[in-house]
Amino acid sequence: MSHAGLPNFADLRFLIVDDFHGMRSMLRDMLRDAEAKHIDTAMHGTEAIGLLRNHKYDVVLCDFNLGDGKNGQQLLEEAKITHLIGPACAWIMITAEKTTEAVMGAVEYQPDGYLLKPITAAQLQTRLEKIWVKKRAFQEIDRALSAKDYLAAIHQCDQRIAIDKVNASELMRLKSQLLLTIGDTDRARALYEQVLAQRDLPWARTGLAKVHFQAGEYDQAAGLLRQVIDENRAYLEAYDWLARTLQKQGDVQEAAQVLERAAKLSPNSPERQKNLGELALLRGDVEAAEKAFRKSMVVGEHSVLKTPDAYLGYARVCSKKQQPGDAVKALGVLQKHFDSDEVRLRAKATEGMVYRDNHDEAKARQVAQEVVTLLENSEGKASGKAGLEAAELLLATGNKDAAVSLLQSVVRNNHDDQDLVGKVQQAFDSAGMAEEGARLVASSRKEAVDMMNTGVLLAREGKLGEAVEWMRNARAAMPSNVRVLFNFAHVALMSLQKQGHDEALVREVRLALSQANKLAPGDKRHAQLSSQLASLG
């Protein structure tokens, strides 16, 4: 039986993750003594992910070291990033690790508790009771987030903030994150400023910096982030955002220095190491790039955050060091880790450039022909980084017509991505086609904008049927244009609200939102439109 105000463990579902049978049994016995009834166990990360996909757990007790495969930090990352757990789930990391590296890594992904071995039953129960009392504040918010109803989740935050002074700070932090998620930067800015007027908290200052960053106010963002780092040396998120901001300001040197400081504090982030490698390549520091890309590959091997760019970057480093064999080997390893058409195309395009840069023109042309075959089978989907990299190889090996067509497709599908469109222009410049390229870029952008604007205009005029059909055609012509996908969903939702339920159209909206989310994870419009779709019932 529970004490007044404390949880009844018999009502909660627990997951224990530990590679040692004895530890799993000991923790299970401790929980049973506390009257817990619903207890599952997993001996490694893969088994735990399977259980998390099939059950909603209230509490996860996870060892940091899980033997071969994912460690506890990587398991927590994956559970959070893939939404296998929400804010109401209590995740407690259990470990004998006391190294700064291990502690910083776990803190970076924010478990709810951190217990050092050996653990007693009294310690465990006291910690669980304390955490669970706090977690109850987030249960309704968690339900709304599970339904992807972000507006309802924000409403639940407001209701709790009004009555729950103990958890008010964490609730406001969550609300501000949700406001950023749905793209309501004005309300997010106001909330951050309200919090900072009462108390100087690093999350609020960092959040306000993100708002400035999104508004292109890079000086203000950098100033806030420097203050956070000066006063909170271990607040790693601020280092990553400061590096991004400095890159936007064109200061690659200082951006790299900032990331190096973050990597010294917490070296096991695959994304940070990859970014460090890319900055080193931009600075021409091949040795530093090699070290960072290698580290990213090693620490990312079992992580959901591992990225093809680390392997591709390492291959480019090997090419620069005139080691084409090592580069091709790395590209082979890449394709064992990532099984997708896009990765195969990027690997082939990079392989061709490796041969070309190492003066093996015959092999470069041979690989370029393989790239053409892959493009023919891609059904127009190679229109982002993969399309750009393939086009660079085609230009370098003399297949100008195919390259130009591909670069135009890249622009049409990414017409409002200034960074990528800028790289397309650089590809034309490098091929001695600066003026022709500028004309092609401009006409391709106009083509995309005109097609999309026509659909939006029809919707504004109330011609929703025609608008949906127009945007459907735009989507077919530009299947990787995120803005087209979101505008299709927007227009279709207007039609559903006006005309009533249409199951086939609802399915189209879901598919468009899913495609957009894969292309641009975390885009604010996904959350906004998903909430609208959820509200239709």
The answer to whether the Cα torsion of 36, 37, 41, 47 is positive or negative is negative
Reported confidence tier of residue 14, pLDDT bands at 50, 70, 90: very high
Would you say 75 and 17 are in contact if contact means Cβ atoms under 8 Å apart?
Answer: yes
- Using a pLDDT cut of 90, give the percent of the chain over it: 68
Would you say 331 and 371 are in contact if contact means Cβ atoms under 8 Å apart?
Answer: no
Bridge partners, 38 (sequence order):
13
In 3D, which of 44, 69, 126 has the Cα closest to residue 92?
126
Model confidence at 74: pLDDT above 60: yes
- Using a pLDDT cut of 70, give the percent of the chain over it: 95
Q: What is the mean pLDDT of the segment spanning 167-177?
A: 94
The whole-angstrom separation of Cα 79 and Cα 52 is 8
Lowest mean pLDDT among 308-317, 476-485, 507-516: 476-485
Model confidence at 467: pLDDT above 70: yes
Model confidence at 101: pLDDT above 70: no
Highest mean pLDDT among 83-87, 127-131, 146-150, 173-177: 173-177
Tokens representing 321 are 């060091």
Model confidence at 297: pLDDT above 60: yes
Reported confidence tier of residue 6, pLDDT bands at 50, 70, 90: low
Reported confidence tier of residue 89, pLDDT bands at 50, 70, 90: very high
Reported confidence tier of residue 427, pLDDT bands at 50, 70, 90: very high
Model confidence at 120: pLDDT above 80: yes
**Residue pLDDT, tens place only, 370-409:** 999 999 887 656 768 999 999 999 999 999 999 999 999 9
**Burial readout 385-418 (b: 16 or more C-beta within 10 A, e: otherwise):** bbbbbbbbbbbbbebeebbbebbbbbbbbbbebe
CA angle 469, 470, 476 (to 5 degrees): 90
**Sheet of 90-95: strands edge to edge?**
38-42, 13-17, 59-63, 90-95, 113-116
Q: What integer pLDDT is reported at residue 536 of this predicted model?
A: 77
Reported confidence tier of residue 100, pLDDT bands at 50, 70, 90: low
The whole-angstrom separation of Cα 168 and Cα 179 is 16
Q: Report the predicted TM-score, pTM, of the whole model to 2 decimal places.
A: 0.83
The whole-angstrom separation of Cα 474 and Cα 352 is 33
Q: What integer pLDDT is reported at residue 380 of this predicted model?
A: 58
The whole-angstrom separation of Cα 179 and Cα 150 is 9
**What is the signed CA dihedral for 479, 483, 484, 489, rounded to 10 degrees?**
110
- Contact residues for 78 (Cβ-Cβ < 8 A; gap 6+): 45, 49, 70, 84, 303, 304
Q: What is the mean pLDDT of the chain?
A: 91
Q: What is the mean pLDDT of the segment spanning 308-330?
A: 97
Residue 533 or 49, more confident: 49
Q: What is the mean pLDDT of the segment spanning 79-107?
A: 79
Q: What integer pLDDT is reported at residue 502 of this predicted model?
A: 87
Q: What integer pLDDT is reported at residue 215 of this predicted model?
A: 93
**Burial readout 364-383 (b: 16 or more C-beta within 10 A, e: otherwise):** bbebbeebeebbeebebbbb
SS3 labels along 5-68: CCCCHHHCEEEEECCCHHHHHHHHHHHHHCCCCEEEEECCHHHHHHHHHHCCCCEEEEECCCCC
Reported confidence tier of residue 2, pLDDT bands at 50, 70, 90: very low
Would you say 124 and 30 are in contact if contact means Cβ atoms under 8 Å apart?
Answer: yes
Would you say 484 and 478 are in contact if contact means Cβ atoms under 8 Å apart?
Answer: yes
Q: What is the mean pLDDT of the segment spanning 180-186?
A: 87
The whole-angstrom separation of Cα 318 and Cα 326 is 6
Residue with tokens 């224990």: 16
Q: What is the mean pLDDT of the segment spanning 216-234?
A: 96
Which strand (E) or helix (H) includes residue 92?
strand 90-95
Q: What is the mean pLDDT of the segment spanning 304-316?
A: 95
Lowest mean pLDDT among 190-194, 322-326, 384-388: 384-388
**Residue pLDDT, tens place only, 329-370:** 999 999 999 999 999 999 999 999 999 999 999 999 999 999
